Amino acid sequence: MQIGNREKIGSPMKILLVDDVQMERMQLAVRLKQLGHIVEMAASGVEAIERYPEFSPDLVLLDITMPDMNGFEVSAEIRERFPEWIPIIFLSSHDAPQMIADAIDAGGDDYLIKPVDKLVLKAKLSAMQRIAFMRRQLNQKSADLAKANQELEKLASEDGLTKVRNRRDIDQKLQEMISVHGRHSMPLTVILLDVDFFKLFNDNYGHIEGDRCLIEIATALNDLFVRNGEVVGRYGGEEFVVLLGHNDAYQAEIHAQRIKTRLDELELRHEYSHVSKYVTVSQGVASVRPTGHETIEQLYHMADRALYQAKHQGRNRYVVYDPSMELQES
């Protein structure tokens, strides 16, 4: 295991070599390649900055004295434009302590005096390889952590059985939609669906088939509502909810009919239903133009009242909410 780690730590680096003197640039590039590294050369600071993002180096070897942009200016530009830290080693024929201090202050991480000694170069690069290895490891761990967090966030918002949004997430989404639609005076629709005679389905076909039925319905709803502002969730048990942004009552009825038609096409067998030989749903539709101050409970209540009427009228249908329903006996 340790040998494998050493091999990874000593793996080749991508080195951006920046020097305006061609002979010195070529000689140093040959040494770097002999040590097994991948070298990209730039003859000026401007050229280095242009090549930097595409090459994505592990290390920058940067001459200080150049005509268009000196090394300090190039270093500052790299640190400002490319936030991920990459080590920079300055190259210079000057060995004055103040020059070395200025190089470190300018964003450099080390300093090599030209002409570069072979042993010193090899030692410096070995140290940089360890840093490059640790940086890659850290980046990988960060990527793994971000992926894990995404998975956790998905699990927290997803219904475990049907894979549509769970009740907590759909409630949160509805609250956000009430606020946004209220602020812009736009219509909003909530459709509450209930599988007709689902208890009889479970009692006769078993809970495994019952779960499969719910998954089929959820998948069908997800396939129907894929546009921005269309949200599908499991309300609870055999109930589902569809949120439709920018939809008034007229448009909502069209979508409710789409749901009915799609479930008819599925032909999920239900010989124990009292309304059809296939699985059907009753739908309560509530369309409002919110002020932004409504609660999710108020909208759910409206959709639920309409759903009750759909069941009362014989099931396998949709009913649009009307305020007069509040006067009717429940």
Q: Name the one residue in this structure whose structure tokens are 């739908």.
A: 283
Q: How many CB atoms lie within 10 A of CB 89?
A: 21
Distances (CA, A) of 230 to 225, 237, 279, 301: 6, 21, 24, 20
Orientation of helix 118-157 relative to helix 2-9, angle to 10° = 110
Instruction: Count Cα atoms within 13 angstroms, Cβ side, for 275.
Output: 17
Which amino acid is located at 232 in the chain?
A: V
Helix, strand, or coil here: 235? strand
| Residue 227, φ and ψ in degrees, nearest 5 | -80, 160
**238 is a catalytic site residue:** yes
Angle ∠(283,289,293) on CA atoms, nearest 5: 105
Strand 38-42's sheet: what is its strand order?
Answer: 38-42, 14-18, 59-63, 88-92, 110-113
Q: Of 238, 239, 253, 294, which is the active-site residue? A: 238
DSSP string, 167-229: HHHHHHHHHHHHHHHHHTT--EEEEEEEETTHHHHHHHH-HHHHHHHHHHHHHHHHHH--STT
Q: Which residues are catalytic?
A: 238
